[in-house]
């Protein structure tokens, strides 16, 4: 992953993090754009889009009929979960194609919700590892690369941890884990070769 793509995501994620309240676990989600070279995915940039979770009828139905019954009432909260606006998804895909790149997958933030959320949510510690909901999402999209950025604040400083994941195998049993990828961040802007 290019360091500038990561910096772009972190800048936005920190801004969203600062707005989180115990009632509103604001998400941060973006698409990964780059190239696939053999078994290596090179993320060159990211593309943000709007969350259509509450405005798209298909998204509302999916959360009401599938997500909430399967993953619990916490997902009734309209701030929890992401559904990329279809217009923004199409725009990002066309921009990637025009640049000779591909849409590789997604990146999203896991905040330290176990510290920020209401007392009822503090028993489940989030990290850069996928939750059952993440594995469901990764399997549904089928994108080959999915990055989770765990973000926390300690005092006035922010810290992050990253991990990259493939979707669960196509014919895996329900609840199968996502395979992990090795993730490397290119430090081009920090070190001149």
Q: What is the pLDDT of residues 45-73, one digit of tens each?
A: 999 999 999 899 999 999 999 999 999 99
Average pLDDT of the residues in 4-30: 94
pLDDT at 175: 67
pLDDT at 191: 54
pLDDT at 172: 66
Whether residue 193 has pLDDT greater than 60 = no
Whether residue 192 has pLDDT greater than 90 = no
Query: pTM of the prediction?
Result: 0.92
Produce one character per residue of 28-67: b if its CB has 16 or more CB atoms within 10 Å, e if not: bbbbbbbeeeeeebbbbbbbebbbbbeebeebeebbeeeb
What integer best gives the mean pLDDT of the chain? 91
């Amino acid at each position: 992953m290019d360091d500038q793509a990561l910096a772009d995501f972190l800048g936005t994620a920190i801004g969203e993090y600062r707005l989180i309240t115990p009632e509103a676990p604001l998400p941060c989600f973006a698409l990964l754009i780059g190239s696939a070279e053999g078994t290596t995915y090179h993320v060159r940039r990211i593309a943000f889009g709007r969350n259509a979770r509450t405005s798209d009828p298909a998204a509302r139905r999916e959360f009401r009929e599938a997500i909430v019954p399967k993953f619990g009432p916490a997902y009734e909260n309209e701030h929890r979960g992401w559904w990329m606006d279809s217009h923004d998804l199409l725009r990002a895909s066309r921009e990637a194609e025009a640049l000779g790149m591909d849409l590789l997958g997604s990146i999203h933030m896991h905040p330290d919700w176990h510290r920020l959320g209401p007392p009822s949510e503090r028993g489940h510690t989030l990290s850069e590892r996928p939750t059952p909901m993440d594995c469901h999402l990764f399997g549904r999209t089928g994108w080959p690369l999915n990055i989770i950025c765990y973000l926390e604040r300690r005092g006035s400083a922010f810290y992050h941890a990253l991990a990259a994941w493939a979707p669960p195998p196509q014919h895996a049993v329900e609840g199968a884990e996502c395979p992990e990828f090795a993730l490397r961040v290119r430090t081009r802007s920090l070190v001149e070769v």
